[in-house]
Amino acid sequence: MHIILILAGFIFLLYVIARFMQKSNSPRTKKIIRYSFAAVFGLLAFFFLVIAKLMPIGGILGLLAFLSAQGGLWRFFGSGSDANIHSDNNMNRKGNAVMTREEALDILGLSGNPDVDTIKNAHHKMMLKMHPDQGGSDYIASKLNQARDMLL
């Protein structure tokens, strides 16, 4: 019974640290915490496998150590509702980030308040240079189309 309480405490501690990591802006801090937890989980897995001879718990802890080192565990625990709210507000229905008017003007090389013909001409001129058939990339062409659609 005490082993289950220890594991529950570890899971809660993992959740609290994942929330801390989510708020941290330093990638180095996140990496240090992630690898530290991977080492702790690895040692606990070794203890449960070799000393306590509890294979299922040791296996689970070994898997948690691997996921922690890879970062998958932190994405799982850190994907709370707060993270999803901010990303959903900045996404359109195709999954692309919503473009601001200033970004759209910058992409098409325009400024101020251009009329419809100016927007269409700038889009056409840029698309002739950046179209995938002309050696451009699909990404740039989609951004040009997104900028045109946003301004029109």
Domain shared by 143 and 115, yes or no: yes
Who wins on pLDDT, 80 or 111? 111
- What DSSP designation does 135 have? T
pLDDT digits (tens, 9 = 90+) for 16-75: 776 776 676 677 777 777 777 777 777 777 877 777 777 777 777 777 777 777 776 666
Q: In whole angstroms, what is the distance from residue 93 CA to residue 100 CA?
A: 16
Range of the structural domain that residue 107 is part of: 101-151
Specify whether 69 is located in the same domain as 143: no
- Note the pLDDT tens digit of each residue in 58-71: 777 777 777 777 77
Mean pLDDT of the chain, nearest integer: 75
Asked if 150 contacts 99 with a C-beta cutoff of 8 angstroms, the reply is yes
Residue 117 lies in a domain: yes
Q: Into how many domains does the chain fold?
A: 2
The pLDDT score that the predictor gives to residue 33 is 76
Which residue, of 49, 65, 89, is where some domain finishes? 89
pLDDT (0 to 100) of residue 95: 47
Regarding predicted confidence, which is higher, 94 or 117?
117
Task: Calculate ∠ Cα 36-32-49, nearest 5°.
Answer: 15
84 and 117 co-located in one domain: no
pTM: 0.39
CATH number, domain containing residue 111: 1.10.287.110
CA–CA separation, 7 and 122 (whole Å): 61
Residue 31 lies in a domain: yes
Contact 45, 65 (CB under 8 A): yes
